Structure 1
Amino acid sequence: MSDIPAVNFPCPVRRVGNGDKHYFFGYYNKNVWDRSGRYFLSNRVEMLTKDLNGSEIAQVGYFDLDNNDEYHAIGETTTWNWQMGCQLQWLEGKEEREIIYNVRSTNGEGTIYPDFCSKIYNVETGEERALPLPVYVVAPNSKYALCVNYSRFEVTHKTIGYRATDNEPELELAPADDGIHYMDIETGESHLIVNLQQLKEFNHVPSMEKAIHWVTHLEINPGSSRLLFLHRWTERVEDETCFLHRLFSVNPDGSDLRLLECTDHPLPQLADDFDIHSVGTFDYEKSEYQISHPVWRNDISIMVWGPHNGSIHYHLYDDLTVEATVVGRECLTENGHMSYSDDDRWLLSDTYPDAETNERFLIIYDAEKDIRYNIGSFYTSPDLGKHNRCDLHPRFSPCYTKVCMDSVHENIRQRYIIDIAELLQQG
């Protein structure tokens, strides 16, 4: 890390709340603050770490940042994991403050994936209503959500899966009745827009034939008019370095499916004598073939960490031309969880732990001046392992003068807010 050109610019950091319990949010791609910047979403649990079996309860709620960080619990869920939480997020397109999150189905709400569904909570009225599918991401206009089979994650990518209530379902490798579902937020009506058999047959390559397939990293552009996702497949689910990747975009009705990148490659790890214990916790995140953490910069541009033309970087893809350009070639040299400011100038991201120090950098990149700022460095214990780890997963505030993160650098799982106003003024 020391050889990477960067400006060290430490910014003020404060813990949210009093730290009486463990708090976390999860993935980097959801808005934590409401529009006013006052209410700050968070899950609350009793433990720092635990291998989850589907019975653990997480409280769901928000901090009131204008009232001494008072925490308001709005419900509970057993449908969560350390990486994604319960997919807690604001329905930003609604006039009133409404929150959606995933819960376990106990009375048959789930029509397609019977173990899991979702719930909407109105902060203004306290009213709740259930929807029949668990959500992955909600469109910015809050008219629809994209939904996936979390039981498939439990097999293919356990870090982001949900344990079944009873027995795990038997999964076909690439069925035509599983994939990406479009769900109407008002009615709960849903239909499949992209299926796994379709993806297996689209520009088919031999490595897909015996592999299990799934979709992940779904994102919807700011105009709610187009979505992206990763198609992954593997013959060895227990070893993430054996995952193969493709980046797609598609319309919300499933039309105009467009392949932006494919990283099919030979896998020596499939040899019978391969030692799975030789793979480090973060080797997968540092693979030269991985496509990960794609986000829309605007309605037609997609930022992603991945390889293109034989070289891995932060790449910016034009969704119309499928052309890719490198961003931060010299200074953004590691995989991270990135997002852009509204004016497209500032890129927020992080790094995975350094192999020697176990420190992670929190990064702000000035795309206009091609300058990387390290605004903080935070330790994580290597004992947490893969499924219980706590990535920083940074996110901008609505006014873009603050960012937040999850962290365990104080030996407790907590939420933090970092003030970046001085840095932005300098820029």
Structure 2
Amino acid sequence: MGNIINKINESLRRFPEIRKFAKGIYQVIGWSLSDKKTENSNIICISDSRYEHLFGYYDKSPWNKECTKMIYLRTENANREVAPSKQALIILKDLEKNEETIIGSTYAWNVQQGCMLQWLGPEMNKKIIYNDFRNGEFCSVILDIETGTEKVLPIAVYSVDKNGEYALSLDFSRLHNLRPGYGYSNTNKDTVDEKCPNSTCIWRMNINTGEVKGLLTYKQLMDFESREEMNGAIHKVNHIMINPEGKRFMVLHRWIKNGKKYTRLLTVDIDGENVYNLMDEDMISHCNWKNNREILAWAHTHSHGNKYYLLTDQTQKREIFAEGILNRDGHPSYSPDNKYVITDTYPNFKCKQNLYLCSADGENVKEIAEVYSSLRYNNENRCDLHPRFSPDGRYICFDGAINKLRQVYVLKVFD
């Protein structure tokens, strides 16, 4: 049944309105047949259930280093708009006192990745960094949660190195227009109407000085090991992730031509040099660094199809991960000790999402929760779980739409 649905879905990609209508009918039928239950009594809602909350993406953690505090957003309209222009409040949760405090706000956020809210290294305890829209421009803000003092930086951040020394950024306006739910809607930039701009697509910023340097342009990416399908296509970049030691980063280079989407995974030195085409077989979805050299990715290969693959940077070495066990796209993260992987799935026919805990070798996979996802949050406004480990590796946190409002949940996985 799943293969039939996938084939129908693929055949309708060139007819987006028909595809959206058919998908809506499919979702309503599944919702009506669902028991609408979440099968794990140990799941705890951390956020105030009177309001709507989310944290963001799976490559960041809402916990401080000591696991005594958490940060997340209090939002509105996250079931109707993918990147609302209305402000979201930044919440600090004191876990020892069980108290929430509003410590700031942002106008630059979306339903999938929030405002890139995260603890700033190397302490990961006293300062946070997040994106905002001020005076008609995107920026990032460092907030000292003890003193309330702010430091405003000239561009929004996408990925921040663990030592808090620099960050990488991209064009959030272009991303919003080409991939709703992942960029920001506040303003349109000059590249909106260009298919492959000869302008910067990735920037590096020194967090201490605020100095910004352009690393790569869209045209440079298109010209690098170019493919015929790139000519006349619309180009974008997304999902920048810096490796643990801060010397290289990965980025997804995506292009769309005649309604068909292509993606390849590139890795690059932190100064923009030594670009490497790590995987280029049309589809790469979600990735994460295992260590400084290895990347776990849900991707397609012409020889083995869609699977999780463990890749080695700057080589063509590929190992299938959890073959025959994990067969659906998800958002993978490694535990702090690199012994485990946590990942999830998108909602199935009956609006259920699964959480899986895996050994790092992929040999042992355990379903630890089946989470109901309200049909109130669907399509581009869907609530992906985006599971992340706590710094001590004992808990995972995820965003969920189990009840009426999107909330932040915690599940203990190890004693």
Q: Secondary structure at the match of 1:243?
A: strand
Residue in 2 that maps onto 1:329: 323
Q: Which residue of 1 aligns with 2:91?
A: 61
Give the superposition deviation at 1:411. 2.0
Percent identity between the two aligned chains: 34
Match of residue 119, structure 2, among 84, 90, 99: 90
TM-score (norm. length: structure 2) = 0.86
* Aligned partners of 1:313 and 1:333 also within 8 Å: yes
Which position in structure 1 is the counterpart of 2:297?
304
Distance 1:368 1:149 in 2: 36
Q: Render the CA deviation track for 1:242-284: whole Å, top value 9, x for unaligned.
A: 22001010100011110011124xxxxxxxxxxxxxxxxxxxx
Does 1:342 find its partner at 2:364?
A: no
AA partner of residue 72 (structure 1):
T
Cα shift at 1:85: 0.6
Q: List per-residue Cα deviations over 1:56-89 (Å, max 9, x = no partner).
A: 1100122111111x11222111211100111111
Q: Which of the numbers 209, 216, 221 marks the counterpart of 2:231? A: 209
The answer to whether structure 1 residue 253 and structure 2 residue 271 are counterparts is yes
Higher mean Cα deviation, 218-227 or 154-163? 154-163
Number of residue pairs matched by the alignment: 378
In the aligned structure 2, how far is the partner of 1:177 from the partner of 1:293?
Answer: 26
Which residue is equivalent to 2:309?
315
Q: Considering only aligned residues, what root-mean-square deviation do their CA atoms show, in Å?
A: 2.1
The amino acid of 2:394's aligned partner reads T
SS at 2:405's partner residue?
Answer: coil
Q: CA deviation digits over 1:290-314, x for unaligned, max 9?
A: 3111111000001110013432211
The corresponding residue for 1:230 is 252
Trace 1:45-56 onto structure 2 (pairs within 5 A): 45-47=75-77, 49-52=79-82, 54-56=84-86
Give the match for residue 33 of structure 2. none
- Shift of the alpha carbon at 1:167? 8.1
Distance change (3 Å), C-alpha of 1:338 and 1:11: farther
Q: Distance in 1 between matches of 2:289 and 2:245?
A: 10
SS of match in other structure, 2:381:
coil
Separation in 2 of the partners of 1:157 and 1:166?
14
1:16 aligns with 2:34: no
The secondary structure found in structure 2 opposite 1:158 is coil
Give how far 1:358 is off: 1.2
Judge conservation of contact 1:96–1:122 (CA < 8 Å) in 2: no
Aligned pair 1:418/2:407, yes or no? no
Aligned-partner Cα distance in 2 for 1:368–1:361: 20
The residue correspondences of 1:101-180 to structure 2 (distance < 5 A) are 101-106=130-135, 115-165=137-187, 170-180=192-202
Residue 169 of structure 1, CA deviation: 5.9
Contact 2:83/2:180 (<8 A) preserved: no
Q: Contact 2:278 / 2:314 at 8 angstroms: preserved in 1?
A: no
Equivalent-residue separation in structure 2 for 1:342 and 1:133 (angstroms): 29
1:370-381 mapped onto 2 (5 Å cutoff): 370-381=363-374
How far apart in 2 are the matches of 1:166 and 1:262?
A: 30
Q: Please name the residue that 2:345 is paired with.
A: 351
CA contact (8 A) 1:407 1:416 kept: yes
Bigger Cα displacement from structure 2, 398-407 vs 160-169: 160-169
Unaligned runs of 5+ in 2: 3-38
The TM-score normalised by the length of structure 1 is 0.84
Gaps of 5+ in 1: 3-8, 108-114, 265-289, 423-427
> Tell me, what secondary structure is at the counterpart of 1:160?
coil
Q: Distance in 2 between matches of 1:373 and 1:336?
A: 15
The 3 A distance-change label for structure 1 pair 23 and 172 is same
- Tell me, in whole angstroms, the C-alpha distance in 2 between the residues paired with 1:166 and 1:375: 42
**Is contact 1:350–1:361 with CA below 8 Å preserved after alignment?**
yes
State the distance in 2 between where 1:228 and 1:166 align. Answer: 26
Paired with 1:168 and 1:160, the residues of 2 have a C-alpha distance of 18
Displacement of 1:105 in angstroms is: 2.5
Deviations 1:281-338 (A, max 9, x none): xxxxxxxxx3111111000001110013432211011114231101100111110000
